[in-house]
Structure formats: structure tokens, C-alpha cells
Amino acid sequence: MIMKPLLNRRLHLHHHELIKLFTSKLPASSSVTDYLQEAEFWIRSLCEKPNPQFDDAVLLFSQLIDLNLIPLHLTCNFLVRALAKSENHNLTLQVYTTMSRVGISTSFLTLSAVIDCFVNTHHVEFAFGVLSLMVKRGFSVTVYNVNIVLKGLCRNGKVVEAMELFRQLRRGCMSFDIVSFNTLIRGLCKAKNMEGALKLRDEMEVTNCSPNLTTYTILMDGLCKEGRMDEAMRLFKEMRVNGLVADVVAYGTLISGFCHRGDVIKGNELFNEMLGQGISPNVITYSCLLDGLCGIGQWEEATTIRTGEPAKLSSYLI
């Protein structure tokens, strides 16, 4: 155990650094308790808006640890969450690593924030480890936490691992939501596993989690990229039968698919249908159709499209 005189001398060595950080606001003190409380106050203050100084807050935290002064776990957890909320991912993980090293307990909210940081810094394997740690500590892991990990796995091309986690937790009776399914379906489509994506869509019905517009759009996009336009159109019709209203993204997905396939006529029909529904085209929709029309030499119709009028493609149909 460190003797107080020695500790006071070490505090004195660092006091000039604290003066630089806080000018005259942090008084010198021979009391370790007062010193620590004052430092914790400034850690919190430095994180406050409108002008947070996160680097200084982390520096002060690190100085305390170097002095073998351990701040209250409430202060440390507050610091991690404040850093994570501001998207200072590297600083967040730096403080979390130090907390783990010196044995400062971490709360559920802190671990949730750390999972998000690991995912955003492309260290999803560590995020998976934190998720396991939450389970070991008896925390009730939420679908929100799991969705972050699933997103990270899929984004890093590890959809197989994401599906394994999904299956394992389902066996453990975890209920997944629409975000979970859409994340996995997008990952499967990106991995060109359309059969797996379509099968997962069917499983949604069993779990009373109905596909939404995003689900259908992801699947239609995957099918279009594989040239399976008939299946994509069947999904489009099924979507509307189920009471979902197509938006510009859903229409644009199909228009792009048909135009890339060379079926500009069908793409134009969908474009005109979209206009008839009162849906304004976006830049992507315009670009796909214009490229398709120009590719087949329909300059007049392309000009008509640019004016926002429905194109008939009469000459091409002849």
C-alpha cells in the first residue's frame, strides 16, 4: 500500500500538468480524497456541452490511474458513455481497456457502448467477446445489443458467423425483431446467398415478424443483381398484396434491374407507373432509365424523361 507522504510527492509532480489543463480552477490539496474528488469533478465537467474537451478528460483519467488513484466506477462509466456518444471510438476503447486492466467494474450501458465502438472500429470479434462477457455477468442481453454485433459481422463479410450467432440465440429463446432479420437478409444477399435470404424471409412468418418494405426491397435488389427479374416482380406484387406501399427505392430497384438487363421497356413502364402513383424519381432512378434509353438509341424518349413527362417508347415498340 502506498504511504501518504510518497503519494503526496507524486501528486505534486503531476500538479503542474493539472494547472495547465484547468488553470486556477483546481486548487492544490494535500488531501488525497479531496484531490480525487476534485479530479472526478473535472472529468465530468470536461465532458459537458457545449465545448467538451474529451482529450483532457481522458488525460486526467490516465493521470489518476498512473498515481494509483482509482476514480469511482460511476465516474469511469460516465466517461466511457460520454466518449462513445460523441463517437470518439478510440478514446472510448482506451478508457475501457484501462478500466478492465485495473479492475474497475463496468455497467450494462457501458458494455453496450463498447460493443458499438468495437463494431465501428471494425473489431467485431472483440464486440462478440464483450457480448459474451455481458452474458457471463448475468446481464439481460437485449436484441439491440445483438443487432449491433450482427450488423458488424455482416458488414465485415462474416455472415456465416452472424447466422450461427442468430441460430444459437434463437435456441436460447431470444426474440429477434425486424432489424435483426433485415440485417441478416442484407448480409446473405451481399454474400450472394439468395436462397438463404429467401428462406430466412419465410422464417419471419413463423416468428410473427412480418417482412416490411425494407425486407422486400433488399430481396428484390438481390434478385435483380442475379437477373432473376420474374422472381423480383413476384415479390413486388406480393408486397403490395400484403398492404405495403412501394416507395421510390423499391421502384428504383426494379427499374435499375430491368434496364441493366436490357429490358428498358419494362423499366419505363415501372417508371411511368411510379409517376402515376405520385412518387417523385430520385437521381438514381433517372440515371438508370436515361442510361438504358440512351443505350438503345431512344434519344427522344430520354429527353422526355428529363422533362419529367411519361415516356411512351412508341417508336421502340414498333
pLDDT surpasses 60 at 204: yes
Average pLDDT over residues 4-21: 42
Both 82 and 129 in a single domain?
no
Domain-located, residue 227: no
Half-sphere exposure of 302 (CA within 13 A, CB side): 14
Number of structural domains found in the chain = 3
pLDDT category of residue 261 using cuts at 50, 70 and 90 = confident
Q: What per-residue confidence (pLDDT) applies to 245?
A: 95
Both 33 and 130 in a single domain?
no
Domain-located, residue 245: yes
Q: What per-residue confidence (pLDDT) applies to 21?
A: 46
Q: What per-residue confidence (pLDDT) applies to 27?
A: 44
CATH code, domain carrying 203: 1.25.40.10
Both 136 and 75 in a single domain?
no
> Which of 175, 210, 245 is the endpoint of a domain?
210
Both 194 and 287 in a single domain?
no
Domain-located, residue 224: no
Kindly report the pTM of this predicted structure.
0.74
By three-state DSSP, how is residue 201 classified? helix
Domain ranges, residue 150? 107-210
Domain-located, residue 192: yes
> Which of 63, 87, 103 is the endpoint of a domain?
103
pLDDT category of residue 317 using cuts at 50, 70 and 90 = very low
pLDDT surpasses 70 at 41: yes
Domain-located, residue 218: no
